[in-house]
Amino acid sequence: MQKRTLGKSGLEVSALGLGCMGLSFGLGPATEKSEAIKLIRAAVDRGVTFFDTAEVYGPWVNEEVVGEALAPVRNSVVIATKFGFEPDPNNDNKWTRTNSRPDHIKQVVDASLKRLRTDTIDLLYQHRVDPNTPIEETAGAVHDLIQAGKVRHFGLSEAGAKTIRRAHAIQPVTALQSEYSLFWREPEQSVIPTLEELGIGFVPFSPLGKGFLTGKIDANTKFDSTDFRAIVPRFTEENRKANQSLVDVITRFANQKQATPAQVALAWLLSKKPWIVPIPGTTKLSRLEENLGATNITLSPEEIQALEAASAAIDIAGERYPATHAKLIDR
């Protein structure tokens, strides 16, 4: 597996990481624990060293699974987790309230360390920007945790350029994690220039458009009630039908490369910057191996230009988040 360094931080990880959320939360029924552990360890065996989780995934369960799976190889992998939410006092299963106050962050980190079975979190992200807490206070709390040895690196998720700069001035930011794919290219204008200027790495989540760019989802697909995509405007039946033309474009390029659409979509991301590290998630070994195959595909500058031109000509239908989630995006 090829390695990449996230910006100027010195944090070296595999060129593709594994997003672990879907094993426990968000994309349908949870994977049985032993099977989830088996998949994570299969990723390790194939050279993946970068694993992404969060306290809210489950909640809590995903960190426990990741911690148990990686305990035997802890010194040779990088674990990223996140803080920034708290349960609704009237509903423990509802996590839409942001909380990045310093005291809360420190409590969350202590709990995450126990669930992850580790003494140090390699990369700690603020899950979403908290409008009620100045980012300088949040960055200062993470700085304290780094000084205490509980955290190695600081990250942000779905943060805008101004917030990134303010945080970076207090505690250097190692990576930004935000959605980025051929299905959502907005970061190219909003944040990537700032990341390049400051030497911050970029970790795209949903690099396969929440599965849409694999070509395995169409207008006839039915989502389980526990699948987040069931409430995402971009995934309504009408919008899936409208957006199929993007998958068709990627599929044509994939056929020319003797690859799959997912591999071309990931190879495109890897071609954009050497400090971009996508974290596709999956619950299936076959999909894991397919995704990792993207690291062996090279797209020429001419192929990249043609792919981008063809995809840019398509107007994507539907918002990427329902209104309740969209308001948490900092831009």
Q: Of the residues 57, 125, 180, 321, which is catalytic? A: 57
Please give the model's pTM, rounded to 2 decimal places: 0.97
Bridge-based pairing of strands 78-83 and 121-126 is parallel
Instruction: Compute the residue count for the chain.
Output: 331
pLDDT at position 88 is 78
**Averaged pLDDT for residues 2-7:** 97
- Which tokens go with 246? 């993007």
pLDDT at position 93 is 66
pLDDT at position 297 is 97
β-partners of residue 82 are 125
- Please give the CATH number for the structural domain made up of 3-326: 3.20.20.100
Residue range 291-302, pLDDT digits in tens: 999 999 999 999
Domain spans of the chain? 3-326
Q: Is 321 a catalytic residue?
A: no
Residue 92 has pLDDT above 70, yes or no: no
The three-class DSSP label of residue 97 is: strand
Which residue carries 């409208």 as its tokens? 242
Residue range 108-167, pLDDT digits in tens: 999 999 999 999 999 999 999 999 999 999 999 999 999 999 999 999 999 999 999 999
DSSP state of 88: B
The three-class DSSP label of residue 13 is: strand
The three-class DSSP label of residue 267 is: helix
User: Which residues, other chains included, contact 161 with Cβ-Cβ below 8 Å and sequence gap of 6+?
Assistant: 190, 191, 193, 194
Tell me the pLDDT band of 327, cut-offs 50, 70 and 90: confident
**Averaged pLDDT for residues 211-224:** 95
CA 68 – CA 303 distance, rounded (Å): 42
Residue range 249-268, pLDDT digits in tens: 999 999 999 999 999 999 99
